[in-house]
Amino acid sequence: MDETLVNFGKHAELTFQELAETQPEYIDWLLKQEGIDENRPELYDYLVFNGFGSTVSTYTDHNTFQAQFTNFENIYELLNEEAEVYNLYFEDECNADIVVEYYINKSGWIFNYKERHVLLIELKPTVSNDYPEILRQMRKQCRAYRFYHKDFPLENIHQMLICQSYTGKIPLGQVKIIYGKIEFNELDDI
């Protein structure tokens, strides 16, 4: 698909790959146009699945949405278990919107202990057909967290995507299957 030619507009005769790599402003503009996913589905899918262009939501929407999760009560509701939060970061070096480090009390044969866990939360006002790009971003966040916290057990790193609305063409249930261990929630589901 990299070699498929663009067959419209001033960039006709460029391949999808050439267009994506040489015309970033045009790609950003194009992806914001109403109906691009219906009128040019091959190009749209190529761009979204390869991570080109910017996300549709604005920083203002994102920041307003993120502000809802600045209080510990809301964070504890997300954890769904007895947890003791010991660190809460926003926009951490791993690029997650919120990083929650917490302990879970465990009982052993001889003594009780605290097990360390982390929840990396990504917040998106809207998720649409850009879900593959968001998934790639979240996988990078997990790798980055492990890079900065090498002693942290991989099995205790959890991830969650929270959106206000999902508007993609693929049914949300299928997208949740694609996300696997990453918990995907619409705000109403929480």
Q: Structural domain boundaries of the chain?
A: 1-54, 59-189
Q: Enumerate the β-bridge partners of residue 163.
A: 124, 186
Q: 107 with 61: CB under 8 angstroms?
A: no
190 residues of the chain, pLDDT tens digit each: 678 888 888 888 889 888 888 888 888 888 777 777 777 878 877 887 676 654 444 444 667 777 777 777 777 788 866 888 898 888 878 889 999 999 988 887 888 888 999 999 999 888 989 899 999 999 999 999 999 998 888 899 999 999 888 988 999 999 999 999 899 988 765 5
Q: What does pTM read for this prediction?
A: 0.65
Q: Which CATH class is domain 59-189?
A: alpha beta
